[in-house]
Amino acid sequence: MAEAQKKKESPHIDIYKAWCKACGICVAFCPTEALARDEGGYPYVKYPEKCINCGWCEIRCPDFAITVETKKNGKKVRDEFEKEGPEKGTAAPGQ
């Protein structure tokens, strides 16, 4: 993600590890192979500059754990995510 933020023009990909089950769908169907899997099978952004913001990883993610966004003003996107992230990520346990 740090790499993604360096490049101003490339879209911002966020992977939400708390919800990700490492199924590999986003990596397998990424048309530009911008994503790759780490040793645990979890996806990470290998080539952020290759991302064309097609959004298929986000649409096909069964766990709603990956998001792609064009960075209009990077700072705002990050701030919003940090605000919402912890609250939604640690949903209360129980049925």
Partner 1 sequence: MAEITRLIHEYLRHDKKFPHVWCPGCGIGIMLGALIRAIDKTGYSKDDIVLVSGIGCTGRLPVYVDFNTLHTTHGRALTFATGIKLAKPRLKVIVIMGDGDAVAIGGNHFIHAARRNIDLTAIIVNNSVYGMTGGQYSPTTPYGMKSTTTIYSNVEHSFNISELAVTAGAVFVGRGTVFHAKLLESLMEKAFAKVGFSVVEIISHCHTQFGRLNRMGTAVEMMQWQRDHAVTVEKAAQMKPEELKDKFKIGVLVDRELPAYQDGYDKVRRWAKGSEKR
Residue of the chain from 21, 33, 36, 76 that contacts partner 1 (CB under 8 A): 21
**Does 58 participate in binding partner 1 (rule CB under 8 A)?**
yes
What is the spatial distance between Cα 23 and Cα 63, in angstroms, rounded to a whole number? 10
What is the spatial distance between Cα 12 and Cα 24, in angstroms, rounded to a whole number? 19
- Site mask for partner 1 (CB under 8 A), range 70-89, x = bound: ----------xx--xx--x-
The stretch near partner 1 (CB under 8 A) out of 2-10, 43-51, 56-64 is: 56-64
Helix (H) or strand (E) holding 68: strand 66-69
